[in-house]
């Protein structure tokens, strides 16, 4: 489902770019400039501007839908939880106790064993 909506979203984005590029330029931004000196609030909406609005609304709907699907899929985990997994607990083996007394030196006097 998510892949279908994402595909529709990408197609809408390309169509929106194409329709915007097909429209006639009116001059400066925000209604400044242009051919006529009077800027009326009621301009005739032609087919391209209606199509632009329709594609823009559909684009926003697919954007919100993809956001909701991603939030539902994410749950309570964060991206960092997915990237950095905790290292597995490794038990360190306990070494057996060993006698670390040095052996007697070769020139040390030998003491005879005690007699009972």
Structural domain of 2: 1-24+48-73
In the chain, the percentage of residues whose pLDDT exceeds 90 is: 28
Q: Is residue 7 in a domain? A: yes
pTM of this prediction? 0.52
80 has a pLDDT exceeding 60: yes
Q: Is residue 54 in a domain? A: yes
Q: Is residue 87 in a domain? A: no
Q: Is residue 16 in a domain? A: yes
pLDDT tens sequence across 17-48: 999 888 777 654 445 445 554 444 345 457 88
* pLDDT score of 86: 63
Q: Is residue 53 in a domain? A: yes
**For all residues of the chain together, what is the average pLDDT?**
76
Average pLDDT on 97-104 reads 73
Q: Is residue 18 in a domain? A: yes
* pLDDT score of 74: 73
Q: Is residue 57 in a domain? A: yes
Q: Is residue 13 in a domain? A: yes
**DSSP codes, 55-80:** HHHHHHHHHHHHHHHHHHHHTT--HH
Q: How many domains does the chain have?
A: 1
Neighbours of 62 (CB within 10 A): 19
């Amino acid at each position: 489902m998510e892949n279908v909506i994402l595909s529709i979203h990408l197609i809408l984005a390309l169509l929106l770019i194409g329709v915007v590029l097909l429209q006639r330029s009116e001059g400066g931004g925000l209604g400044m400039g242009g051919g006529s000196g009077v800027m009326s609030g009621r301009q005739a909406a032609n087919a391209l501007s209606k199509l632009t609005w329709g594609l823009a609304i559909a684009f926003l709907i697919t954007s919100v839908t993809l956001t909701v699907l991603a939030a539902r899929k994410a749950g309570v985990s964060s991206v960092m939880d997915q990237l950095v997994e905790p290292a597995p607990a490794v038990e360190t083996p306990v070494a057996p106790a060993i006698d670390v007394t040095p052996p007697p030196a070769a020139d040390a006097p030998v003491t005879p064993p005690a007699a009972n």
